[in-house]
A and B are shown apart, each in its own frame.
Chain A
Amino acid sequence: MRVKEMILSLGLILLLLCGSQACQRMSADEEQKTLHYFTWSDYVGPELLAEFERRHGVKVVVDTFSSNEELLAKLQGGATGYDVTVPSDFMAAIMIQQGLVAELDSALLPNAATLEDHLQHLPFDPIQRYAIPYLWGTVGIGYDSAVISTPPDSWEVLWDPRYAGRISMLNDQREVFGAVLRSMGASMNTKDPALIEAAKARLLAQKPLVKAYASDHYDQLLASGDVVLAHGWGGPVARAMRDRPSIRYVVPKEGSTVWADCLVVLQSSPRKKLAMQFINYLLEPQVAAHTAERLLFASANKAARPFVPPHILENPAIYPPIDLLPRLEWMTDVGEALRLYDRAWTELKMQ
């Protein structure tokens, strides 16, 4: 009797599982015409998606992630059904290494021919076999010129006691250590324990001046006047400028990070051709220009520049001046040394 009940309930569970499988198979035809785009939240204008849907007679479904690590964890956890996603440079490198990304067919990507010169040959994907840069920018300092009268040009300003309690740093161990390492004249990708230790000492000295370590609301901190110096990505600083026009942005002379979010087709995608058409569409000059204007990040497509409004193009927080390029560095995986950064970061937080 009991055994029977058990078998019955097990059978029921199996039935439920199979049922949902069958349902998925039934709509396979529909599925062929649906593109799944896995991206950052608010990273693409709905009207741009609607235009692509109209042109190709397909449906685009958007799903979002909030960090590169979340993206990787989901894909490694076996999430399938996504076609196109947009990891940052260092994560694209990892995803390529892990075999998560499909090779691209350059014939389907004519718009990739006009990428900005310095984005044509990314260190981890020199001939664009896997990843197409989409949006790019720098890490620097957003500051309130109404309070800080002499425009800062060095990371050193983040150690200026005059601004104690009015400084925010990114809540991102690699970027924070990167800024300090650059200020010490070292590479932000160093694996040298002595350098990491020295950087930690500098950060410990800075901590009393830091109001918050924030990665996702420092634009509000700047705009509200809670902080007058913010270590951060250019885009959010440009957003803060709209609310508080005295906000400026500078990439310190010691150098900083350059980043690019890259479009990739996933190896598990059943619609690779459509996926590449979608990437090509996002790179179309007018589409790309529209995106840059909306998100306040520079488009990787040089051909988009003529369509971008001048005030966006001339804002250094959005479009990094080309003469900055020699001072910028890509963030790369530091392998085993990550535990050193990790320990140092935790110590910084517990101080």
Chain B
Amino acid sequence: MKMSVPVGRAPSWWLLGPGLVWMGLLFVVPLCLMFVISFAGRGTYGGMVWSFSLTNYLDLFHPLYARILGQSILLAAGTTLLCLIMGFPLAYYIARAAPNRQGIWLLLVMIPFWTNFLVRTYAWMFILRTEGLLNTVLLKLGVVSSPIELLYSNTAVLIGLVYGYLPFMVLPLYVALERVDRTLVEAAWDLYATRWTVFRRIILPLAKPGVVAGCLLVFIPSLGAFLTPDLLGGARSMMIGNLIQHEFLVARDWPLGAAISCLLMLFVAGMMRWSLRAAKPLVQPEPES
């Protein structure tokens, strides 16, 4: 890092204050509480019984929970991959557009956020259902002869997740691609690199921090999604987020819900560590000196 603080003195620590207090009170404290609760027992009426036990964690060894986690990871990974495939060209186009156009494109990417996610998910239900918009159009055009059953399937969940999280992929990718030095690309052309080589050896490595950030921003929330599987998946299967919501809100089994949450967080933290390290060697544009 070549960046330095102008005056040569580290900025005052209290700049951290507001953020630290907020996160401390509203994030760390509940997190610790949840960790403690994950070792408690469930009371008859859904309260907590304060007796230390590992039962909740041992219960999670049931293959059922591994299947839920496995399916969630699969769906989240699929979502991430599709977002990356669609988001990368989009972000690249925006980053290379005329500067005065970029703002408009970015605004368009962010427009969906103006409406609540729940409302937008309901809109997807109208589009995907048997007598919905999509089937009506496809039938009219003669593309299909009978309506396709899209709603209430994992495909619908995937569509909904990709739709919901695409902007989270595009924005960090845009930031990374916009910073790619065009002269490096030109130099590659001058050296007779093919299109594919330019992409693979120049653009992709330089954009890698954006790729990693975008993938994390898409993967983590889609792993914990519970609204989309419920509405677009017709609650026919569960993602890990549904299970946690179910334990906390329906079964009122907070200890088990807390144990699942702790395990999920452990998994996500491990994955982040791994991916951040994986990102590192390529972040440095200059070779080791």
Contacts and interface: CB of A to CB of B under 8 A. Distances in A.
Interface string A327-351: 0000001011011001101110110
A226, A336, A345 — which one has the most chain B CB atoms within 10 A of its CB? A226
A350 B46 contact: no
A211 interface: yes
Interface in B117-158: 125, 129-131, 149, 151-152
B151 to A, nearest CB: 8
Interface string B150-169: 01100000000000000000
B68 A211 contact: no
Chain A interface residue bracket vs B: 35 or more
Interface stretch (B76-84, B88-96, B104-112, B232-240): B232-240
B235 A72 contact: no
Contacts of A342: 246-247, 251, 253
Nearest to A334: B44
B21 to A, nearest CB: 7
A9 B251 contact: no
A76 B251 CA distance: 15
A346 B64 contact: yes
A343 B67 CA distance: 13
Contact of A72 (B13, B44, B46, B130): B46
B178 interface: no
Contact of B71 (A97, A168, A224, A350): A350
Interface string B224-257: 0000001000111110001100111111110010
Given A69-B249, A342-B251, A5 B44 contact: no
Interface in A128-180: 165, 168, 171-173
Interface in A19-78: 67, 69-70, 72-73, 76
B17 interface: yes
A103 to B, nearest CB: 19
Contact of B236 (A67, A72, A210): A210
Interface string A102-140: 000000000000000000000000000000000000000
A67 B249 contact: yes
A104 to B, nearest CB: 21
A229 to B, nearest CB: 15
Contacts of B281: none
B238 A350 contact: yes
Contacts of A173: 250-251
A245 B237 CA distance: 32
A239 B154 CA distance: 29
Interface in A77-108: 94, 97-98
Contact of B237 (A6, A72, A350): A350
A13 B21 contact: yes
A343 B241 CA distance: 16
Contacts of B221: none
B64 A2 contact: no
B61 interface: no
Contacts of A349: 235-238, 242
Nearest to B48: A76
B128 to A, nearest CB: 11
B134 to A, nearest CB: 14
B124 to A, nearest CB: 13
A212 interface: yes
Nearest to B239: A349
B47 A76 contact: yes
Contact of B131 (A225, A345, A346): A225
A231 B46 CA distance: 27
B230 A171 contact: yes
B131 A350 contact: no
A338 B249 CA distance: 13
A165 B152 CA distance: 10
Nearest to B45: A94
B137 to A, nearest CB: 17
A307 B42 CA distance: 46
B267 interface: no
B114 interface: no
A200 interface: no
A155 to B, nearest CB: 20
A97 B46 CA distance: 12
Contact of B45 (A213, A214, A333): A333
A13 B21 CA distance: 10
Interface of B: 13-14, 17, 21, 42, 44-47, 62, 64, 67-68, 71, 125, 129-131, 149, 151-152, 230, 234-238, 242-243, 246-253, 256
Given A336-B44, A339-B256, 5 more contacts: A5-B14, A6-B14, A212-B152, A214-B235, A338-B251
Interface of A: 2, 5-6, 9, 13, 67, 69-70, 72-73, 76, 94, 97-98, 165, 168, 171-173, 207, 210-214, 217, 224-226, 333, 335-336, 338-339, 342-343, 345-347, 349-350
10 contacts: A9-B14, A73-B248, A210-B236, A212-B234, A217-B125, A333-B44, A339-B253, A346-B64, A346-B246, A350-B64
